[in-house]
């Protein structure tokens, strides 16, 4: 690959340094890290666990100083898997038992998408904050109700945009952009391919009324990143399209979508799909490109097919150099910031209006998307 990387010595030096760090970490006694958990600063519980994202969500809050207290789920098999992972958690007899527990400050949920916003409304009305898996809201009517109750109760309604909050290279990209490493951001390009894994999907996964559509679902991640990296506080959809191009056996399903948008801080493009092939050693080659006036950043979130089978890779080119960064040892601050916000009634993890605007953009793009069809 001619000309890659331009600064080959720096590339090799960074890679070697990372390898040395990994050797050092692996040489530490296992007891020094076993069972480590920060002192509990808040108590939290889980209601509904229909998506595996709940495990990462719980992990983030525990790292931030949360104590997992109880869980409720209707499905015995899902509950069994959760309690195996967290054996000290109390199994509640009902959703109401958790909602009425005045010692609980935060509720987490990864329920079926159309049930997430109604639960969040109940959570806020019971005086608790809410962290929900994406998509956290799947209709504009739900969004209107959530906004109304959030304004009345002043509780936190947060959506776990894990492609930013739980990806170390994306967190690093945010630090670099904030420091001015590539100048003013002009555009973001977010690619969100996923492997469909048909045999493991529940029925609701294929019903648009339950999951909201591909842009509402996967695309919500990319709208969050577009707003964050461009610094946009206002935005509009230029064009959007969706289609079911290769899964006619699921007529209520969408497997492809893309969007163009612009905001008061820059422009953006998004593509999402369910076409990741089985030959890839990851569920999806998620990528983010951030174009600035003085350079660009590319984040290879889950894999770097040319060089690495691991995740959290960042490339940056600016007026001075081309660099590669392995971000696997970088911190993930979201959980700690969210706990801070719960305790201090602040908005350091994610501003509430940002959360709602990212959601609204996804819902509008989904609602007004042109439907495309595969040519036979």
Q: In this structure, what are the phi and psi dihedrals at residue 191, rounded to the nearest 5 degrees? A: -115, 120
132 pLDDT above the threshold of 90: yes
Fill in the DSSP letter of residue 225. H
Q: pLDDT of 40-96, one tens digit each?
A: 999 999 999 999 999 999 999 999 999 999 999 999 999 999 999 999 999 999 999
Q: How many CA atoms lie within 13 A of 263 on its CB side?
A: 25
Q: Please compute, for residue 10, the number of CA atoms within 13 A of its CA located in the half-sphere on the CB side.
A: 13
Distance CA 58, CA 46 (A): 8
Which pLDDT does position 18 carry in this prediction? 37
- Say if CB 285 and CB 191 are below 8 A apart: yes
Give the 3-state secondary structure of residue 67.
Answer: strand
How are strands ordered across the β-sheet holding 313-318?
A: 322-326, 313-318, 295-300, 287-292, 185-193, 266-273, 256-263, 235-243, 370-372
pLDDT at 165: 97
- How far apart (Å, rounded) are the C-alpha atoms in residues 133 and 352? 15
The pLDDT tens digits for 144-198 are: 999 999 999 999 999 999 999 999 999 999 999 999 999 999 999 999 999 999 9
The answer to whether 323 and 213 are in contact (CB under 8 A) is: no
Structure tokens at 319: 């007026």
Q: Where are the domains of the chain?
A: 42-161, 164-334+364-372
pLDDT at position 34 over 90: no
Give the chain's end-to-end CA distance (angstroms, integer): 37
**Three-state secondary structure of 120-136:** HHHHHHCCCEEEEECCC
pLDDT on residue 37: 62
Q: Supply 44's token pair.
A: 């939290």
Q: Are 135 and 208 in contact (CB under 8 A)?
A: no
Q: How far apart are CA 352 and CA 80, in angstroms?
A: 34
Q: What are the phi and psi torsion angles at 193 (to 5°)?
A: -80, 145
From CA 253, how far away is CA 243, in angstroms rounded? 8
User: Class assignment of domain 164-334+364-372?
Assistant: alpha beta
Q: What does the DSSP 8-state code read for residue 79? A: H
226-273 pLDDT, tens digit each: 999 999 999 999 999 999 999 999 999 999 999 999 999 999 999 999
β-pair type (295-300, 287-292): antiparallel
> How much is the pLDDT for 286?
96
Look at residue 330 in the predicted model and tell me its pLDDT: 97
pLDDT, tens digit, 9 for 90 and up, residues 274-289: 999 999 999 999 999 9
pLDDT attached to residue 376: 62
**CATH 3.40.50.720 applies to domain 42-161:** yes
pLDDT tier, 39 (very low <50, low <70, confident <90, very high otherwise) = confident
> Which pLDDT value is given to residue 6?
39
* Chain segment 104-117, per-residue pLDDT in tens: 999 999 999 999 99
pLDDT digits (tens, 9 = 90+) for 184-231: 999 999 999 999 999 999 999 999 999 999 999 999 999 999 999 999
Q: What is the pLDDT of residues 293-339, one digit of tens each?
A: 999 999 999 999 988 889 999 999 999 999 999 999 999 999 999 99
38: pLDDT strictly greater than 70: no
The residues that bridge with 42 in the sheet, in sequence order, are 66
């Amino acid at each position: 690959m001619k000309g890659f990387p331009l600064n080959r010595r720096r590339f090799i030096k960074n890679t070697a340094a990372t390898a040395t760090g990994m050797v050092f970490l692996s040489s530490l006694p296992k007891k020094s890290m076993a069972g480590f958990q920060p002192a509990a600063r808040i108590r939290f519980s889980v209601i509904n666990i229909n998506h595996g994202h709940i495990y990462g969500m719980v992990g983030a809050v525990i790292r931030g100083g949360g104590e997992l207290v109880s869980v409720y789920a209707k499905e015995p098999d899902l509950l069994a898997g959760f309690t195996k992972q967290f054996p000290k958690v109390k199994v509640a007899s009902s959703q109401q038992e958790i909602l009425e527990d005045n010692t609980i400050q935060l509720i987490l949920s990864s329920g079926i998408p159309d049930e997430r916003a109604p639960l969040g409304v109940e959570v806020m009305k019971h005086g608790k904050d809410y962290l929900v898996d994406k998509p956290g809201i799947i209709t504009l009517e739900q969004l209107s109700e959530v906004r109304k109750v959030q304004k009345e109760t002043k509780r936190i309604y947060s959506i776990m945009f894990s492609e930013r909050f739980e990806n170390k290279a994306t967190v690093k990209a945010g630090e670099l952009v904030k420091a001015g490493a590539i100048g003013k951001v002009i555009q973001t390009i977010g690619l969100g391919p996923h492997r469909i894994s048909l045999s493991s999907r529940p029925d609701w996964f294929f019903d648009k009324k339950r999951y909201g559509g591909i842009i509402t679902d996967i695309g919500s991640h990319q709208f969050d990143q577009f707003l964050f990296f461009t610094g946009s506080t206002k935005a509009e959809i230029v064009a959007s399209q969706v289609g079911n191009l290769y899964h006619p056996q699921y007529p209520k399903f969408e497997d492809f979508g893309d969007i163009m948008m612009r905001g008061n801080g820059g422009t953006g493009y998004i593509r999402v799909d369910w076409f990741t092939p089985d030959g890839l050693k990851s569920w999806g080659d998620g990528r983010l490109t951030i174009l600035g006036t003085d350079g660009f950043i590319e984040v290879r979130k889950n894999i770097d097919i040319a060089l690495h089978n691991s995740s959290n890779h960042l490339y940056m080119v600016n007026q001075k150099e081309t660099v590669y960064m392995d971000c696997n040892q970088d911190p993930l601050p979201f959980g700690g910031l969210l706990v801070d916000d719960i305790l201090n009634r602040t908005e350091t993890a994610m501003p509430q209006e940002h959360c709602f605007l990212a959601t609204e953009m996804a819902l509008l793009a989904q609602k007004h998307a042109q439907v495309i069809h595969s040519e036979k």
